[in-house]
């Protein structure tokens, strides 16, 4: 079963705009990760944020984590057409860190 | 390229047939995971190995599914008596535990179509 849900399910923006995706999860975690998946392909790891961190940056990506609300957000700044993909958050389970539980994903379309 | 590889990339089979998929992880990774992904959904955990030991199996993994990692290197996932509901993308990932974090490296997946 999925750990939680992502919002929105789909997002369409123009190149240069920012894209924000939200993820909610259900159980306590050690860390939360974001992955990108291009159509019909495998997943690529983007960024990991630990449960004791509140914000993390990597290039054009900014991730926040609010463990009190069991939610995270991924911000992609200055989007490009190449950012078109599905984005998934994934969590471990606090007392079982050996598997990832994925959300339902946000499908991002960036128009040139 | 030393990433995770999967073979075949696509498989079309008739209902009732058996299929086997192979995954070659990154060579120094001792953990190997199988996930299943249906259209429009996120990947769902199936099973994972630490070296050759299968440590956890999901309830999704019915008796028709079996996975092995005989020498702690590559892994195979076999589905017996396939059903149309088995149609999905089967993803393999590998990792090595580092400081408690579990970044996983995914292969390109095997897309199974059961007709």
Which residues of chain B are within 8 Å of residue A41 when distances are taken between CB atoms? 108-109
**Which of A90, A82, A2, A37 shows the shortest CA–CA distance to B104?**
A90
Task: Tell me the nearest-neighbour CA distance from B15 into chain A, angstroms.
Answer: 23
The reported pLDDT for the residue numbered B28 is 86
Q: Indicate the residue of B44, B101, B108 with minimum beta-carbon distance to A41.
A: B108
CB of A18 within 8 A of CB of A38? Answer: no
- Per CB-CB distance under 8 Å, the chain B contacts of A26 are none
Closest to A99 (Cα-Cα) out of B70, B34, B24, B68: B34
The model's pLDDT over A5-54, given as tens digits with 9 standing for 90+, comes to 888 999 999 999 999 999 999 888 888 999 999 987 889 999 999 999 99
Question: What's the pLDDT at A94?
Answer: 64
SS3 label, residue A61: strand
Instruction: Report CA torsion sign: B22, B23, B27, B32.
Output: negative
CA distance A98 to B87: 26
For A72-109, the pLDDT digits (tens) are 999 999 999 999 999 999 998 766 667 889 999 999 99
Q: Answer whether residue B90 shows pLDDT above 80.
A: yes
Query: Would you place residue B12 in the very low, low, confident or very high pLDDT band (cuts 50, 70, 90)?
Result: very high
């Amino acid at each position: 079963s999925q750990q939680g849900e992502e919002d929105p399910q789909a997002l369409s923006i123009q190149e240069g705009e920012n894209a924000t995706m939200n993820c909610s999860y259900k159980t306590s975690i050690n860390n939360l990760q974001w992955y990108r998946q291009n159509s019909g392909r495998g997943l690529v790891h983007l960024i990991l944020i630990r449960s004791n961190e509140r914000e993390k940056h990597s290039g054009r990506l900014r991730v926040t984590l609010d463990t009190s609300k069991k939610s995270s957000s991924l911000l992609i700044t200055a989007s490009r057409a190449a950012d078109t993909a599905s984005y998934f958050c994934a969590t471990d389970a606090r007392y079982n860190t050996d598997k990832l539980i994925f959300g339902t994903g946000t499908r991002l379309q960036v128009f040139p | 390229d030393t990433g995770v590889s999967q073979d075949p990339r696509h498989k079309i089979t008739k209902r009732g047939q058996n299929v086997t998929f192979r995954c070659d992880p990154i060579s120094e990774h001792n953990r190997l995971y199988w996930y299943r992904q249906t259209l429009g959904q996120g990947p769902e955990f199936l099973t994972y190995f630490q070296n050759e030991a299968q440590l956890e199996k999901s309830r999704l993994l019915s008796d028709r599914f079996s996975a092995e990692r005989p020498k702690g290197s590559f892994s195979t996932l076999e589905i017996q008596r396939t059903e149309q509901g088995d149609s999905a993308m089967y993803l393999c990932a590998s990792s090595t535990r580092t400081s408690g974090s579990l970044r996983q490296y995914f292969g390109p997946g095997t897309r199974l179509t059961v007709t």
